[in-house]
């Protein structure tokens, strides 16, 4: 099958401020050794009160546009995967449009938690297939530390902030998105969520006191589902593309836990030198995780032209997604 769309530019941005495991040792009852051994994380970037999700998006988008040789005015659609945007409404994409000056674009956010970028990529591919959109900016961005409970050692050591972006245009017939696969299971929403501020737990003194505005996660349960769903999802994308795991030159897995990353790679017989890993420096940045890793893989020269890349992700909802892209 000929690809319909392709990625011609990527970028990423993260806050300057670094929070190390040693810093966390001073905040909660944890150790650098525990965090490294159980998650693979050494440090993460955390935003300052002045920084907003749209700032990271805008910087990542500028880099992606520059590489693509495009002006912001050339963009006709902006899709942002985020669950920690600037405001409850309007969308974060609205602020990014204004900051970039992408005034010819239609813009919206999608809420698919960690899977947001790959959901967005899938949507961009489909929108280009309609023939009605040509130059699409897909961004995955989060300010996860905005909803981090710094008193909960089970979750506060995991997350970080940042954004990654990709410019998607019609394929040249050779390179591009070979297949995608999306899945969800709403029966498991209670394992990973943040209720505060929604209709379930509106912002009141009581919901603030209850810590309802922070992220809640049943870590071990999520872990088991993540391993299973990522394997299933990656296999579906392989089947749809007609490729096998041997054809994959680079695996970019969601950076949630080094043990999930290694388990997924092992399941497909992909050696770790063909796996993009940056969880040690960023932690789990939710929907920004895949596009940050993608940009680092490309800009470092590891992911080269002609290579097949498999992206696979899992997140709250639950949601899961995968995409195979020939660069």
284 flagged as catalytic:
yes
Cβ proximity to ligand UT7: between 46 and 114 the closer is 114
Q: Residue 310: beta bridge partners?
A: 251, 324
Q: Does 220 bind ligand UT7 (CB under 6 A)?
A: yes
Close Cβ partners of 69 (under 8 Å, ≥ 6 residues apart): 9
Q: Does 235 bind ligand UT7 (CB under 6 A)?
A: no
What is the total residue count of the chain?
Answer: 327
Cβ proximity to ligand UT7: between 116 and 315 the closer is 315
And the tokens for 274?
Answer: 């063909």
278 flagged as catalytic:
no
What are phi and psi for residue 198, nearest 5 degrees?
-90, -175
Residues of this chain, 265-284, that bind ligand UT7 according to CB under 6 A:
284
Q: Which stretch binds ligand UT7 (CB under 6 A): 34-42, 43-51, 93-101, 121-129?
A: 34-42
Among residues 153, 213, 240, 302, the one that binds ligand UT7 under rule CB under 6 A: 153
Query: Could you give the string, one character per residue 77-116, with x where binding to ligand UT7 holds by CB under 6 A and - elsewhere?
Result: -------------------------------------x--
Give the span between the Cα atoms of 6 and 121, in whole angstroms: 10
- The distance of closest approach from Cβ of residue 314 to ligand UT7 in the complex, given in angstroms and rounded to an integer, is 6
Alpha-helical segments (H) within the chain: 21-25, 32-39, 53-68, 92-100, 116-129, 153-156, 205-209, 219-241, 258-267, 279-282, 289-299
Give the span between the Cα atoms of 179 and 177, in whole angstroms: 6
Three-state DSSP state, 21: helix
Cβ proximity to ligand UT7: between 176 and 316 the closer is 316
- The distance of closest approach from Cβ of residue 323 to ligand UT7 in the complex, given in angstroms and rounded to an integer, is 17
- Among residues 146, 284, 295, 309, the one annotated as catalytic is 284
- The distance of closest approach from Cβ of residue 192 to ligand UT7 in the complex, given in angstroms and rounded to an integer, is 6
- The distance of closest approach from Cβ of residue 55 to ligand UT7 in the complex, given in angstroms and rounded to an integer, is 22
Give the span between the Cα atoms of 221 and 226, in whole angstroms: 9
- The distance of closest approach from Cβ of residue 91 to ligand UT7 in the complex, given in angstroms and rounded to an integer, is 22
Among residues 38, 42, 213, 240, the one that binds ligand UT7 under rule CB under 6 A: 38
In terms of Cβ atoms closer than 10 Å to its own Cβ (0-12, 13-18, 19+), residue 74 is middle
> Cβ distance 201 to 207 under 8 Å?
yes
Among residues 222, 270, 294, 297, the one that binds ligand UT7 under rule CB under 6 A: 222
254 flagged as catalytic:
yes
Three-state DSSP state, 319: strand
Close Cβ partners of 220 (under 8 Å, ≥ 6 residues apart): none
Query: Which spans of this chain sit near ligand UT7 (rule: CB under 6 A)?
Result: 30, 34-35, 38-39, 114, 153-154, 157, 219-220, 222-223, 226, 256-257, 260, 284, 314-315
Active site residues: 114, 254, 284
């Amino acid at each position: 099958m000929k690809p319909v769309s392709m990625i011609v530019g990527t970028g990423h941005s993260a806050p300057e401020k670094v929070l190390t495991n040693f810093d966390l040792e001073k905040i909660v009852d944890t150790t650098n050794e525990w965090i490294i051994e159980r998650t693979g994380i050494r440090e993460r970037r955390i935003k300052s009160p002045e920084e907003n999700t749209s700032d990271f998006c805008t910087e990542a988008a500028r880099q992606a546009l520059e590489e693509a040789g495009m002006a912001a005015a050339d963009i006709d659609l902006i899709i942002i995967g985020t669950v920690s945007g600037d405001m409850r409404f309007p969308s974060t994409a609205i602020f990014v449009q204004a900051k970039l000056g992408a005034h010819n674009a239609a813009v919206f956010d999608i809420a698919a938690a960690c899977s947001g970028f790959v959901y967005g990529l899938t949507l961009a591919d489909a929108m280009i297939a309609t023939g009605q959109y040509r130059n699409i900016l897909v961004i995955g961005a989060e300010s996860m530390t905005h909803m981090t409970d710094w008193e909960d050692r089970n979750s506060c050591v995991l997350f970080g902030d940042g954004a990654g972006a990709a410019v998607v245009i019609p394929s040249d017939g050779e390179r591009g998105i070979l297949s995608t696969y999306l899945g969800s299971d709403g029966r498991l929403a209670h394992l990973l969520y943040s209720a505060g501020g929604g209709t379930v737990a509106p912002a009141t003194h009581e919901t603030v006191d209850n810590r309802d505005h922070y992220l809640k996660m049943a870590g071990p349960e999520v872990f088991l589902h993540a391993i299973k769903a990522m394997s299933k999802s990656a296999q579906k994308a392989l089947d749809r593309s007609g490729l096998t795991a041997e054809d994959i030159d680079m695996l970019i897995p969601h950076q949630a836990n080094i043990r999930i990353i290694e388990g997924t790679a092992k399941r497909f017989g992909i050696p770790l030198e063909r796996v993009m890993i940056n969880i040690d420096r960023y932690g789990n940045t939710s929907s920004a995780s895949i596009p940050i890793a993608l940009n680092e893989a490309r800009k470092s020269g590891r992911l080269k032209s002609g290579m097949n890349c498999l992206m696979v992700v899992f997140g709250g909802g639950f949601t899961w997604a995968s995409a195979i892209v020939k660069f």
